[in-house]
Amino acid sequence: MSLKITIVGCGDAFGSGGRRNTCFHLETESARYFVDFGATALVGVNALGIDTNAVDAIILSHLHGDHFGGIPFLILHAHFVTDRKRPLVIAGPPGLEQRIRAAQEVMFPDSSHIELCFDLVFVELEPGSRSTVCGADIECFEVCHPSGAPPLALRIQAGGRLFAFSGDTEWLDVLPTVAGGADLFMCECYAFDEPIPYHVRYRDLEANLADIGARRIMLNHLGTESLARMADIDPSIEIAEDGMVIDV
């Protein structure tokens, strides 16, 4: 049993520090997933040599462009470039199909009407629900991050390991529950000292560190202040880098 996670992108929405938008590639012995697929994800996927046709499902935390904006590109890439044959499952907050279709139409008019060479399957993940998507057990918690649909923190069990992800959110009391018992808790950390609405501030994470029962804690989505203060982050906490590969 194993879970290999490749950090395709760990940056914020604005490319701070030259980092790509959020996208993680999860690989078990029997399935592969993307968790989030931000606008720059396909660039990262190609830079890292990841085979998109081998990916079974994309699991989305919330519907902001830096977390799902790469999907219109991936759909066309699968149809025109990689000649995908297997179904592609996209799971995420309620309303995801409508938002993805709208994004397709804005970026590539008429592209949502193409008869694709593969099946596109949308699965809605309700806050508070637990479901199985392509062999991964997914538990969803609603967080606080307005994005036109309920934003989710995720506990994803795959390959006998537990990957917990805060998604984007301000600090909430539910986050230690999300992280509890995880082999890796990936937590966004956009802000450091200065609060930024709807995002985790490092000082709040630090104050609650003793309550986070995850084997490893890793930070992603660092804004400019967090990037400048990386040396002040508790040494027990890891910091994601684009291209990093983690055996969880």
Binding residues for Zn ion (CB under 5 A) = 64, 168
Q: Considering the complex, what minimum distance in angstroms separates the CB of residue 160 from Zn ion?
A: 30
Q: Considering the complex, what minimum distance in angstroms separates the CB of residue 170 from Zn ion?
A: 11
Contact 100, 65 (CB under 8 A): no
Contact 174, 143 (CB under 8 A): yes
Single-letter amino acid code for the residue at 121: V
Burial 177-205 (b: 16+ CB within 10 A, else e): bbbeebbbbbbbbbbbeeeeeebbbbeeb
Q: Select 56 or 188, whichever has its Cβ closest to Zn ion.
A: 188
Q: Considering the complex, what minimum distance in angstroms separates the CB of residue 89 from Zn ion?
A: 22
Q: d(Cα 105, Cα 144) in Å, to the nearest integer?
A: 28
Q: Is 4 exposed, middle or buried (0-12, 13-18, 19+ CB in 10 A)?
A: middle
Q: Considering the complex, what minimum distance in angstroms separates the CB of residue 40 from Zn ion?
A: 14
Q: Select 32 or 62, whichever has its Cβ closest to Zn ion.
A: 62
Looking at the chain, the number of H-run helices and the number of E-run strands are 7, 14
Q: Select 25 or 199, whichever has its Cβ closest to Zn ion.
A: 199
Q: Considering the complex, what minimum distance in angstroms separates the CB of residue 223 from Zn ion?
A: 12
Q: Select 111 or 220, whichever has its Cβ closest to Zn ion.
A: 220
Q: Select 168 or 183, whichever has its Cβ closest to Zn ion.
A: 168
Distances 192 to 106, 200, 222 between C-alpha atoms, Å: 35, 8, 9
